[in-house]
Amino acid sequence: MESQVDQLKVIFLPFFLAPSHQIPMVDTARLFAMHGVNVTIVNTSANALLFQKSIDRDANSGHQIKTHVLQFPSAQVGLPEGIENFNTATSLKDMVPKLFLGQSLLKKPIEQLFQDMQPDCIVSDLLHPWTVDSAAKLGVPRLVFHVTSCFSFCAETCVEQYKPHLSVNSDTEPFSLPGLPNKIEMTRFQIPDIPDEFNQIMILNKEAERRSYGAIFNSFYELEGAYEELHKINTGIKTWSVGPVSLWVNKDVSDKVERGNKEALKDHEWLNWLNAKASNSVLYVSFGTLTKLSEAQLIELAHGLEASGHQFIWVVRQKDKDQDEGWLEEFEKRVKESNKGLIIRGWAPQLLILEHPAVGGQVTHCGWNSFLEGVTAGLPMITWPIFAEQFYHEKLVTEVLKIGVAVGKKKWNRLSDKETTEVVKREDIEKALKFLMGSGEEAAEMRNRARELGNAARKAVESGGSSQSNFMGLINELKSLKSNRN
């Protein structure tokens, strides 16, 4: 047993406003605690509730892990109590600026916490660039936590550096991304179109990353090792891929069900439904925590699913108050009666569904967590990117790993752009579904590659695996930095 003086004390600071930033960081914090580190996760009250049960379970089993809860300044920024992330915001346009303001007001108490706790290391989401100075003041390493891939980091850096999109004459003409380990072609429509002020923020984040001690990725070497090497060259800092962290820490059913979800799941309809299905016969369709498809798109998707003839579980976000979804209720009733499809409204136990033997494929918006969870489950995918770095991930799936097919979404759009958003047609959806779930040779090869990648993911976190070795190396390095300081 390590003495308290030798024990590493690490603070984890997630980006509070998106569950998909918190989910992998909490998993990683739990991983540190499983390895004898004294862990504090900073969070705001409503967000903390999404994870508290797993953390309490870990603490009860002897791990030194706790949440430091801060009150979100809801009244001060004019938000209703309990709205502390984008997923719960009822109006993105009105609430997003208030959420950002609320988070920025917490900087002072967090700085004070750092001073009071005197950690040996700060693990900070990329989106808190100021923590690089906090760590420097304390004389301890800051590790940047990435919630996305090395691949998208490198692709994005390539676009910033070489501006290949300026060499083409139209938004749909393909151009290559120079300097990447694979030949990747994109169009201007697929490149993130972010406002200037946000671009400035991203530049600050990257500058802070270059001044950090290192970076942690929820990824594994066999998946995108060449891009991890390129990240090291691009930033000049150390990189540790330690994933898939979820596979490593979420071992029991309670952990999987309660991850990112404060309500215990009472309804097991999905499980009974899947248990009655043949292996690899069901598609899982989900767009993550942030995307709300327009009604026109939901209708096309429903038709595409039905016309494909394949079975599916479709996760539909809770409807807005003023939305009339009578057609969806009818559709739900119909596919339930024909036993072809199941709709889950709100939060689905995604980890459990993906690993169920009846699930044979995933329709994904290419958020990094969902992508990695699909990879871990050995599933081929239909890619349907919406925004952020999701179009880069589509390229990773379809052109590098070759474990999936694109549905044909052509244009990057902002989350709030519902009205102007392109609608993927039902025929294209049907075609992609029939291809992926069908008996063709190409799809069979994709399924094999996906299965092999799933095996590689499992090996990476086992004893002697790439992520396991990286993680132990990281812990040892932090310990030696601590003893040098002492």
User: Which parts of this chain interact with ligand UDP (CB under 6 A)?
Assistant: 18-20, 23, 260, 286, 288-290, 315, 347-348, 350-351, 365, 367-370, 373
Minimum CB separation of residue 360 from ligand UDP in Å reads 18
In this structure, which long-range contacts are made by residues 331-340, counting pairs with CB atoms below 8 Å and at least 24 apart in sequence?
331/302, 331/306, 334/306, 335/305, 335/306, 339/311, 340/306, 340/309, 340/311, 340/312
- Catalytic, 27? Answer no
Best CA proximity match to 243, nearest among 264, 217, 273, 266: 217
Best CA proximity match to 283, nearest among 253, 256, 305, 250: 305
With respect to ligand UDP, which residue has the nearer C-beta, 209 or 373? 373
Best CA proximity match to 209, nearest among 278, 129, 121: 129
Q: How far is CA 127 from CA 17, 66, 119, 132, 408, in A?
A: 11, 22, 20, 11, 31
Separation of alpha carbons 397 and 151, rounded Å:
11
With respect to ligand UDP, which residue has the nearer C-beta, 20 or 67? 20
With respect to ligand UDP, which residue has the nearer C-beta, 20 or 74? 20
With respect to ligand UDP, which residue has the nearer C-beta, 47 or 289? 289
Place of tokens 């406003």: 17
Q: How far is CA 425 from CA 71, 158, 191, 385, 408, in A?
A: 45, 32, 22, 15, 9
Q: How far is CA 251 from CA 31, 78, 114, 469, in A?
A: 12, 40, 31, 20
Minimum CB separation of residue 376 from ligand UDP in Å reads 11
Best CA proximity match to 68, nearest among 21, 27, 106: 106
Residues 15, 20, 23, 28, CA torsion sign: negative
Please report, to the nearest 10 degrees, the dihedral formed by the alpha carbons of residues 400, 401, 406, 412 taken in order: -60
- For residue 108, the one-letter residue type is K
- For residue 42, the one-letter residue type is V
Place of tokens 């871990």: 376
Q: What SS3 class is residue 90?
A: coil
Contact 256, 349 (CB under 8 A): yes
- Return the H-helix or E-strand segment holding 304: helix 295-308
| Active-site residue identified among 21, 63, 231, 310 | 21
Minimum CB separation of residue 28 from ligand UDP in Å reads 13
Contact 154, 133 (CB under 8 A): no
Minimum CB separation of residue 17 from ligand UDP in Å reads 11
Query: Which residue is at the shortest CB distance from ligand UDP?
Result: 367
With respect to ligand UDP, which residue has the nearer C-beta, 286 or 308? 286
Six-digit token pair at 387?
A: 């925004």
Minimum CB separation of residue 19 from ligand UDP in Å reads 6
Separation of alpha carbons 406 and 412, rounded Å:
14
With respect to ligand UDP, which residue has the nearer C-beta, 138 or 313? 313
Minimum CB separation of residue 383 from ligand UDP in Å reads 12
- Catalytic, 125? Answer yes
| Active-site residue identified among 27, 58, 125, 255 | 125
With respect to ligand UDP, which residue has the nearer C-beta, 415 or 423? 415
With respect to ligand UDP, which residue has the nearer C-beta, 18 or 453? 18
Minimum CB separation of residue 8 from ligand UDP in Å reads 27
With respect to ligand UDP, which residue has the nearer C-beta, 129 or 288? 288
Minimum CB separation of residue 419 from ligand UDP in Å reads 20
User: Given the DSSP bridges, would you call strands 9-13 and 121-125 parallel, antiparallel or unpaired?
Assistant: parallel
Minimum CB separation of residue 291 from ligand UDP in Å reads 6
- Residues marked active site are found at 21, 125
